[in-house]
Amino acid sequence: MKYEAKLIDGKMMLISRDIKVGDKVKIPQTKDNYDNNDFNIEGIVNSVGNNECNITMNNSGNITIPKKYCIKIIGEISLETTWIEDGDILDEHDLTDRNGDWVSSTPFSNYKELSAGYELRKRGIWKIAVRCPTCKKFH
């Protein structure tokens, strides 16, 4: 599976565009917000079509928007991955979890579910390490 690096609120985040019913997603308030990486509205996906998502927004009813504007945040990318830039496409074989100096040797591609470290990533305890293209180690 492919993921994307996206600069959101000053942090490099790993996102997925593989949106499914029940996912918690972030969407922009306007197209200009999307162009500026300002994903300021959260919601839960009710249905997904080929080009649209229907989302229940927190206490604000439902909205149907183009699917391209929906993102699912997987977690924050480690600060030590200095080569990663906004918009980079990353493969699950080159991603793993990191907690301080400890870096997992198990890439996401070997997880039964991507959510293996989700709660810890969500709370900011774990970050996402990326395999360096030069030294081939996770950082």
In this prediction, residue 117 carries a pLDDT of 55
List the structure tokens of 29.
Answer: 């308030």
53 to each of 78, 103, 108, how far by Cα in Å?
Answer: 30, 35, 26
Tens digits of per-residue pLDDT, 64-123? 888 888 888 888 899 889 999 999 999 888 888 787 777 777 776 665 555 555 555 665
Same domain, 97 and 55: no
Mean pLDDT value of segment 8-36: 81
Same domain, 43 and 61: yes
Tally of domains within the chain: 2
Mean pLDDT value of segment 14-36: 80
CATH number of residue 31's parent domain: 2.30.30
Q: Could you list the residue range(s) of the whole structural domain that residue 29 is in?
A: 18-69
